[in-house]
Amino acid sequence: MFLSVFDLFKVGVGPSSSHTMGPMVAGARFLELLRAAPFQARGLRASLHGSLAFTGKGHATDRATILGLAGFTPETMDREAADAALAANRDTLLLHPEGLGPLRFDPAADLVFDYDRPLPGHANGMILMATDSQGDVIGRETYYSIGGGFVLTEAELAETAAERRSDASSNVPYPFATAAEMLAMAAQSGLSIAHMKLANERMFRNTAQIDAGLSRIWQVMRDCMERGLAVQGTLPGGLNIRRRAHGIHQALLAERGQNLTAPHVINDWMSTYAMAVNEENAAGGQVVTAPTNGAAGVMPAVIRYWLDHVPGASERDLGMFLLTAAAVGGLVKHNASISGAEAGCQAEVGSASAMAAAGLAAVLGGTPMQVENAAEIALEHHLGMTCDPVAGLVQVPCIERNGLGAIKAVSAASLSLRGDGTHFVPLDAAIETMRQTGRDMSEKYKETSLGGLAVNVPNC
């Protein structure tokens, strides 16, 4: 099993990797189909199903779908150009994707939120259609946004399930598909988890490309955090949630150096770093999936804590942190899920916390067994966490939840390093438990805003 660090950590836009980035990617993929089709499309339609329908408006899924069908992609999207394209579509009811000419698309009629008919493959399903000059459908494809910005067609989803059942190995030196295999390969090779992951990555990219890619991941993470720490005001969406990261950060800076500062204030630093990222995400800013947008603040917050507050920390070890975290994230995605719509927030913030705990344990000198233990502790103590965003917005409880995920990650890493790596519950068991819990969890607690805080807190 191989999932690249650059697939898990993707540069994109907020507020949601599955509900914003995914539909945009699906739209761009559908355009590629149309460019290669033997027919000439004259119009486009889209229907959103499951969680994409229920919380799509709060997650800007309608906007993302239109932009995807206009030819925009998350990584390269220019905000002003996107706004101009949306305004032009409102005025003309046309989209102008490159190489296809003007295509009719009336958002009021051609973008359907289907609340009654979930698609069978995944909670985040959508159908994109091409029409002729008479308005008849002449081409269609079903896409599933499976979390973290990953998008699969119906056929690709079935193929992925078949590969998982067959336990097919990837053409890489260390194709671990479970944590047990990862530890066995580490013991046999004498390599760290990060070094095994790096060897796998080198099958597809050279060292310079890997180093540059990892540096860019951290740069985008840090830039996002700095914007979040600098900006004040109210988040969009109608809940009138006030940005808090800037104010808390200023207070912490003012308190720095005071002899009577309580030790637990370090938690406020971590929370503020995470909240800054997720406030930017909620505002539609540029973020890195880690492994998703909704959990994008955990990893940067723990990295920033390590770099700025731990003696001896150095950015030269960032690659070790990110590669180790990606190894754990790949195991979670392969064997369970990183999608809140599929398994609740345990799959998003829980996965992010496990990844961050593993990365921190690695750069603090942990053995592979201690790294695996750190990830297990962090994930175990997120099991059962629901995804119940108020008003379908990635704001409450999502922003604060990232801060607590970062704190748990640091605690998990610290606890694991106090032992020798032996522990009772294996990481594989925690991942499988998360999968089973997600399967059994009521749909109203899986990013539909039909239960939990979403129905018990006033939305205005």
pLDDT tens, 21-39?
999 999 999 999 999 999 9
Which residues are registered as beta bridge partners of 95? 103
Confidence of residue 250 (pLDDT cuts 50, 70, 90): very high
Q: Which two tokens stand for residue 75?
A: 């990584």
| Topology of the domain comprising 18-161 | 60s Ribosomal Protein L30; Chain: A; (3.30.1330)
Query: What confidence score (pLDDT) does residue 163 get?
Result: 66
Token pair 């690249």: residue: 4
Tell me the longest C-alpha to C-alpha distance in the chain: 76
Residue 244 to residue 229: CA distance in whole angstroms: 9
* CATH 1.10.4100 describes domain 169-456: yes
CA distance 154 to 119: 10
Let me know if 65 is exposed, middle or buried by CB neighbors in 10 A (0-12, 13-18, 19+): buried
Mean per-residue pLDDT for 59-65?
96
Mean predicted confidence (pLDDT) in 417-436: 98
Tokens 């150096």 belong to which residue?
A: 257
d(CA 144, CA 151): 6
Share the mean pLDDT of the chain.
Answer: 96
pLDDT of residue 169: 54
Q: Is 313 in contact with 306 (CB distance < 8 Å)? A: yes
Per-residue pLDDT tens for 150-199?
Answer: 999 999 999 887 666 544 457 999 999 999 999 999 999 999 999 999 99
8 Å CB contact between 342 and 146: yes
Residue 1 clears pLDDT 90, i.e. is over it: no
Please report the sign of the dihedral spanned by the C-alpha atoms of residue 166, residue 172, residue 174, residue 176.
negative
Which pLDDT tens digit goes with each residue over 274-327? Answer: 999 999 999 999 999 999 999 999 999 999 999 999 999 999 999 999 999 999
With a cut of 80, say whether residue 123 has pLDDT above it: yes
Residue 147 has pLDDT above 70, yes or no: yes
C-alpha to C-alpha distances, 247 to 126, 228, 243, 280, nearest whole angstrom: 40, 11, 8, 15
How far apart (Å, rounded) are the C-alpha atoms in residues 290 and 326? Answer: 9
Pairing mode, if any, of strands 124-131 and 43-50?
A: antiparallel
Q: Point out which residues pair with 124 in neighbouring strands.
A: 50
pTM of the model: 0.94
The residue extents of the domains of the chain are 18-161, 169-456
Q: Is 242 a residue whose pLDDT tops 60?
A: yes
Cis preceding-peptide flag for 291 (omega within 30 of 0): yes
Cα four-point dihedral sign 390, 391, 392, 394: negative
pLDDT at res. 257 = 82
Q: Using CA atoms, how far apart are residues 437 and 414, in angstroms rounded to an integer?
A: 27
> Alpha-carbon distance 293 to 256, whole Å?
31
Q: Residue 258 — pLDDT band, cuts 50, 70, 90?
A: confident
Q: Does the pLDDT of residue 114 top 90, yes or no?
A: yes
Burial (CB < 10 A; 0-12, 13-18, 19+), residue 230, is exposed
- pLDDT, residue 164, reads 60
Strand partners, 234: 242
Q: Is a pLDDT exceeding 90 seen at residue 458?
A: no
The confidence score (pLDDT) of residue 166 equals 47
Cis amide linkage into residue 397, ω under 30° from 0 = yes
Reported as a pLDDT band with limits 50, 70 and 90, residue 260 is: confident
- Percent of the chain with pLDDT strictly greater than 90: 95
Determine the pLDDT at residue 167: 47
459 — pLDDT class (breaks 50, 70, 90): confident
Task: Kindly tell me if the per-residue pLDDT of 441 is higher than 70.
Answer: yes
